[in-house]
Amino acid sequence: MTPTTMRAVLLREPGGPEHLVCEQVATPAPGPGEVLVRVHAAAITRGELEWPVDRLPAIPSYEVSGVVAALGPGVDDVAAGDEVYGMTAFDRDGVAADYAAIPSELLAPKPRGLSHAEAAAVPLAALTAWQGLFDHGTLAPSQRVVIHGATGGVGQFATPLAKRHGAHVIATASADAAERARQLGADEVVDYTVGQWATGIEPVHLVFDTAGGERLAASPRVVRSGGRLVSVAEEPPEATGISSVYFVVEASRDQLTEIARLLDEGFPAPAVDSTFSLEEAKSAFERSMAADKRGKVALTSHAEKA
């Protein structure tokens, strides 16, 4: 039986982790088209505490993995007991709680081979990679693509996705990350910290940027006529003869279902830096901003471990 109250992390004032508290609140009831998810893991994103400034107090975290506990009216596409994962809407309360009411259309079957903490680390980054490469970048087999930040949160998905699609992948990464980029599938690795990274790169069909800054600014130099420059970091520069796109990731059950299938077939699992309890939310968000963080930080509930 679902309890009437639950633990939830709340951001009570604008600012940083110091304004987070873990409190007992009423357990939500799923509305039409929604399911109540027993949250096992909620992944957090650097900077996300700046998003809900106009609707405080707010529950943070928008990536979830858990088990369906109850169905709202009209839901027939999932069942109680199903293990699910997904990305929730950024304009409503998140999932850093024991339970969350979530539209069923946002949820997909959880990758079977991943822990809940690992599964929660997938949606935002993997969907961003998929949409950047294929929806906005229209990457085709045999095309050449430069991926900036090829081993980062989004890059760890974008690099093997592009390689699996049959593209020639050129990764920009630091010397320390070069071997990791090759393990993920990069055909070439360019150290962007030494000299002008664009020198010597033959024209490419697509640049997918997750880093911004100087790498993005210099990217039009390597894009062939008719090619695409796609960024999730900041607005890309306009240049004659190429298309430039900045986008914000959108939820997609179909894409998450395909991503879960790939993960179950051996696609590289996401890196999880650390996990924290709901009561440790302040420390978790502080860790998410640490310079030495390697992978996603997740809040875990119901004894789930990475």
Do the Cβ atoms of 40 and 85 come closer than 8 Å? Answer: no
Radius of gyration from C-alpha coordinates of the chain: 20
The answer, yes or no, to whether residue 251 has pLDDT greater than 60, is yes
What pLDDT does residue 305 have? Answer: 44
Do the Cβ atoms of 216 and 233 come closer than 8 Å? Answer: yes
Strand partners, 164: none
Confidence of residue 301 (pLDDT cuts 50, 70, 90): confident
CB contact set of 101 (below 8 Å; sequence gap of 6+) = 28, 29, 30, 31, 34, 35, 36, 37, 72
The answer, yes or no, to whether residue 27 has pLDDT greater than 50, is yes
Mean pLDDT for the stretch of residues 199-221: 94
Confidence of residue 280 (pLDDT cuts 50, 70, 90): very high
Q: How many helices (H) and strands (E) does the chain have?
A: 7, 15
- Pairing between β-strand 188-191 and β-strand 204-209 as defined by DSSP bridges: unpaired
Give the number of other CB atoms < 10 A from CB of residue 284.
Answer: 28
Spatial distance between the Cα atoms of 44 and 299, rounded to a whole number of angstroms: 8
What 8-state DSSP symbol labels residue 138?
Answer: -
Q: What is the largest CA-CA distance in the chain?
A: 63
Mean pLDDT for the stretch of residues 151-158: 95
Tokens 């695409």: give the residue.
Answer: 228
Instruction: Please tell me the pTM assigned to this model.
Output: 0.94
User: Tokens in use for 97?
Assistant: 């709680």
